[in-house]
Chains A and B, each alone.
Chain A
Amino acid sequence: MLPSRLPDPVPPARHELSASYISRLATLHGLDISTLWTQTTTREPSGGMRRIIVPERLAALTGRTVHELAGALPELRDPAPPWEMFRHQPQTGCHRCDARHPGGKVTRLLPHHRYVCTRHRTWIGPPDTNRPATDLTILPAVVQAQRLHLRLVRQHGWAATYDAVLTGFLLCSHIWNQHPGLGNRGPVWHTWESRTHVLIPPPDELKEFSASRLFAAIYPETVRVAALIASPFWRDLASGTPDQKKRFYREISTRVSYPYTDNPDLGDAIAHWAHTDAWRPPTGPHHRFTPGRVTAVLPAVHQGQLNRHQRSALWFKRGRKAGKALLWHNHIKPVLVRPWTPNYERLEGAISFSQRIDPEIQATTARQRASQPKPTPRAQDQHTSPMQ
């Protein structure tokens, strides 16, 4: 039997998880969350303990059509959207957008290209430990970068843009992580450090630290670099002859003010990417979201994650080494540990590998490239699915 319609079926938020929406409806009407969850879901066809939402029941409960609900709740779409386009981890969005949605915390499943709420100028992602979105009013460059990011998605498709932006984060993190003694720190370090000074003011690092905010500090330059990495033309140059490579290095130096020096002993992530990855197809995410949950109560942040966050804050307070915090963050792991990366026991190995360009790696890469029947530097069929 279909449930009765609730007196005030507040609308769902965009990209909201069904469990979050049902939880808000239950809170508003003083109902038991588990009971409402059971009424609107059914056990998955395989007979497991996970429960799948029944769109007709939710429609009867809210008085909204299945079509309307599916517009906001990705889990209700039929056919299901390509889940690779979304982050596998649900998160909170812009707190000012959420203020319009009563009934408790709004948990959303955001697509990979959503980092900034351009309407309210707030930094949203990547997912952080229960920290509300950060105001970007005095950092307009970050907001503008989100617009450029969306333009990249329209031009090159979500898959190429996803790989390009994460690779951009990786390269910028390596640049930021350069040792001060190397003497090649340019104006871009000052830009990033001044942004970090605004986002995480010095005396309050323990309270204000957030790896997500560090990503915000390098986001504008990341997107500028990502425009090169996503472009088939620049990928061809990066993986081409030495002269073509030089042209690519010159361009990327212009975009991030990176004083590129062709010294293999120092190690260089950009050169590594040009030699090892540029001629291969873009890398996809490691994990994907799976619809269906056992309960509607969304779990709180795990204590282990909170402990890790606290340790990171402590390390950051000691030396304000932001580049290191970024390189160790899971968000860029898909481009740090690619399918063809050697299988290292610890992440340090993968980080070290991602900036090596010694002759051994160059020889290995040349062998692999020669064994490929036909090099395909540009990703095919990236526009097959519409963007969300």
Chain B
Amino acid sequence: MAMKIPTSSRTTAPAEVTDTPPDSPLTTKEGWRRFVEHEPLPPSLLTGPDLDSLSRTDRVRYQDQRRDYHADLPLVNTPTIRKVINTSRLLVQLNRHQVSARRGVIISGASGTGKTTALSQLGRAHELAVRKRHPRDRHRLPVLYATVPPAATPKMLATEFARFFGLDLPGRANITDVVNAVCATAAHVGVDLVLIDEIHNLNIQTRTGAEASDQLKYFAERLPATFVYAGIDVQAQGLFAGTRGRQIAGRFHVIPAAPFSHATEQDRASWAALVGTLESTLRLHDHQPGTLAAMSEYLYHRTGGMIGSLSQLVRGGAVLAIEDGSERLSQDLLEAVPIDYAAEQAEEATAPARTRQRRRQAA
């Protein structure tokens, strides 16, 4: 008897969400809703006889489903993500009855350390919690997600907020119109967490940058919400310098997003635990549990402790393992996965010179 292949292993989202055009970005309410409702479900692994009994079409579909799943592996809950979520959820509660001077959070760190991931996971966790509290309020939008555009002016910033809500304002609308529309809508749909990514695009040393920063502050005063920013090395960009900077520094709590360390025994253990958790999400036929955990040190040197690079390495290896039919991760396979330049630099600086020795042995 032929096995029945589930039609979709990916998501439990309703039809309304899957109908959303795939190009809707996270910075629109449709894209954000799609992100919040998306939850990758692991496909069930077929046993050998069941796999053999599949027809050619079913086998192709089965492989496609697993490739899709591995390309979109569930996220591992890193310490940074945990800290961001715990701190920000506490601040949301503390700010609930504040009429002014609400406290916020800034996630700062190098690229590839998982800032955007932490920010989006915070928004997702908060929105799911609010939906649980108000299950019948379908039009509540507790989270607003926006990115600071390059060379942002105050109006560009306000328009980004309006674009998230889908407010179609005419070109002749001035900034007051845009801000009023955004604030009226945000108050009506119950926004209480505002996430601003790419905050390093604001250069408060320039006039437009300073004005855009003031615009953000104005939004923070008008909207009864907690603001969370994320950006690359925010302290080094001079966001806390000068009068404006001192005011920001007085209201925001900074959470550093740093790469994992491999210095102490405890650091190594936490990295190994992270790799082990990632490994447990794999759905490969011939993969022996513990293989990836045994390669923990190699993975650290290859990725420089960057969670983004590690995720790409493991996901890429899993997809390659399905494509070449080996169905298991090995160091040779992981070598074939391209990763970012920063991680390559880190590898050159930190990895022990083992590659040449091994080649010599092999020769």
B177 adjacent to A7 (CB under 8 Å): no
Query: What A residues does B23 contact at CB under 8 A?
Result: none
Q: How far is the CA of A6 from the CA of B29 in the complex (A)?
A: 10
Interfacial chain A residues near B170, Cβ < 8 Å: 32, 35
- Residues of B with C-beta under 8 A to A39: 168
Contacts of A29 in B (CB 8 A): 165, 167, 181, 184-185, 188
Please, which residue of chain A has its CB at the minimum distance from the CB of B166? Answer: A4
A10 to B276 CA separation, bound complex (whole angstroms): 48
Contact of A3 among B165, B168, B181, B185 (CB under 8 A): B168
* Chain B residues, Cβ within 8 Å of A28: 184-185, 188
B189 touches which of A3, A8, A32, A35 (Cβ 8 Å): A8
A111 contacts chain B at the CB level, 8 A cutoff? no
8 Å CB interface, B157-183 against A: 165-170, 173, 177, 180-183
Q: Does the CB pair A7–B181 fall under 8 Å?
A: no
Q: Which B-chain residue is minimally distant from A102 (CB atoms)?
A: B188
Which B residues lie within 8 Å of A35 (CB)? Answer: 169-170
Complex contact A4–B167 (CB within 8 A): yes
Q: Is B354 an interface residue (CB 8 A)?
A: no
Bound-state CA distance A31–B173 (Å) is 10
B207 lies within 8 A of chain A by Cβ: no
Among A9, A27, A32, A39, max chain B CB count under 10 A is at A32
A33-75 residues at the B interface, CB under 8 angstroms: 35, 39
Contact between B29 and A32, CB atoms less than 8 A apart: no
**Total interface residues on B, using CB and 8 Å?**
20
Query: A247 in the interface, Cβ–Cβ < 8 Å?
Result: no
Residue in contact with A8 in the complex, picked from B168, B177, B188, CB distance below 8 Å: B188
B133 within 8 A of A: no
B97 at the interface (CB under 8 A from A): no
Whole-angstrom distance between the alpha carbons of A135 and B167 in the complex? 40
Counting CB contacts under 8 A, is A5 at the interface? yes
B139 at the interface (CB under 8 A from A): yes
User: B139 touches which one: A3, A4, A9, A32 (CB < 8 A)?
Assistant: A9
A304: CB under 8 A from chain B?
no
Give the docked Cα–Cα distance between A274 and B184 (Å): 60
Residue in chain B with minimal CB distance to A27 = B184
Residue of A nearest to B181 (CB): A30
Given contacts A30-B182, A30-B183, A32-B173, contact A7 B189 (CB under 8 A): yes
- CB-based nearest B residue for A34: B170
Q: Give the residue name and chain of the B residue nearest to A5 (CB).
A: B166
How long is the Cα–Cα vector from A32 to B30 in the complex, in angstroms? 23
Decide if B141 is an interface residue (CB 8 Å cutoff).
yes
Q: How near does chain A come to B141, taking the closest CB pair, in angstroms?
A: 6
Give the distance in Å from the alpha carbon of A378 to the alpha carbon of B265 in the complex: 100
- Say yes or no: B168 contacts A30, CB within 8 Å: no
CB distance from B344 to the nearest CB of A (A): 42
In the complex, the chain A residue whose C-beta lies closest to that of B137 is A8
Per a CB cutoff under 8 Å, which of A4, A5, A9, A31 touches B181? A31
Minimum CB–CB distance for B109 against chain A, Å: 32
CA distance A28 to B185 in the complex (A): 7
Q: A322 CB to closest chain B CB, in angstroms?
A: 45
Contacts of B182 in A (CB 8 A): 30
Contact yes or no, B189 A31, CB < 8 A? no
Residues of B within 8 A of A31 (CB): 167, 169, 181
Interface pair A7/B180, CB less than 8 Å apart = no
A8 touches B185 (CB 8 A): yes
Q: In the complex, how many angstroms separate the beta carbon of A264 from the nearest chain B beta carbon?
A: 66
The docked-state distance in angstroms from the alpha carbon of A27 to that of B188 is 10
Residue-wise, chain B 75-119 has the 8 Å CB interface mask toward A (1 for contact) of 000000000000000000000000000000000000000000000
Considering only residues 4-24 of chain A, those with a C-beta below 8 Å from chain B are: 4-9
Bound CA span A5–B166, Å? 6
Pick from B141, B168, B169, B183: contact of A7, CB under 8 Å = B141
**Which chain B residues lie closer than 8 Å to A3 at the CB level?**
168
Determine the chain A residues whose CB is within 8 A of the CB of B167 once the complex forms.
Answer: 4, 6, 29-31
Which residues from A are CB-within-8-Å of B184? 27-30
B136: min CB distance to chain A, Å: 14
Q: Given the known inter-chain contacts A29-B184, A29-B188, A31-B181, please indicate yes or no for A7 contacting B165, CB distance below 8 A.
A: yes
Complex Cα gap A315–B139 (Å)? 51
A30 & B141 in contact (Cβ 8 Å cutoff): no
Q: Is the CB of A8 within 8 A of B166?
A: no
Q: Which residue of B lies closest to A31 (CB)?
A: B181
How does the 8 Å CB contact mask read for B183-194 relative to A, with 1 for contact and 0 for none? Answer: 111001100000
Is there an interface contact between A7 and B166, defined as CB atoms closer than 8 Å?
yes
How far, in angstroms, from A6 to B165 measured CA to CA in the complex?
7
Q: Within the assembled complex, what's the spacing in Å between the Cα atoms of A9 and B139? A: 8
How many Å lie between the Cα of A264 and that of B170 in the bound state? Answer: 70
CA distance A39 to B169 in the complex (A): 10
Whether the Cβ atoms of A32 and B168 lie closer than 8 Å is: no
Q: Give the complex CA separation of A7 and B166 in angstroms.
A: 7
Q: Tell me whether A32 and B166 are in contact (CB under 8 A).
A: no
Complex Cα spacing A5 to B185, Å: 13
Chain B proximity of A183: nearest CB distance (Å): 63
| B35-77 Cβ-contact flags toward A at 8 Å (1 or 0) | 0000000000000000000000000000000000000000000
> Which chain A positions have C-beta within 8 A of B168?
3-4, 39
User: Which residue of A5, A6, A27, A32 is within 8 Å of B177 (Cβ)?
Assistant: A32
1/0 contact trace for A283-311 toward B, CB 8 Å? Answer: 00000000000000000000000000000
CB pair A7 B173 closer than 8 Å: no
Contact in complex: B181, A8 (CB < 8 Å): no
Could you tell me the distance in whole angstroms from the C-beta of B134 to the nearest C-beta in chain A?
13
Contact of B185 among A4, A30, A32 (CB under 8 A): A30
Shortest beta-carbon distance from B100 to chain A in Å: 21
Q: Which of B139, B166, B188 has the most CB of A within 10 A?
A: B188
* A-B contacts, 22 listed (Cβ < 8 Å): A3-B168, A4-B168, A5-B30, A6-B185, A7-B139, A7-B165, A7-B185, A7-B189, A8-B139, A8-B141, A8-B185, A8-B188, A8-B189, A28-B184, A28-B185, A28-B188, A29-B181, A30-B180, A31-B167, A31-B181, A32-B170, A32-B173
B interface residues (Cβ-Cβ under 8 A, vs A): 29-30, 139, 141, 165-170, 173, 177, 180-185, 188-189
Point out residues on A near B: beta carbons under 8 Å: 3-9, 27-32, 35, 39
- Given contacts A7-B139, A8-B185, A35-B169, 13 further A-B pairs with CB under 8 A are A5-B30, A6-B185, A7-B166, A28-B184, A28-B185, A29-B165, A29-B167, A29-B181, A29-B188, A30-B180, A30-B184, A31-B169, A32-B170
What are the nearest 3 A-B pairs in CB distance?
A30-B184, A4-B166, A30-B181
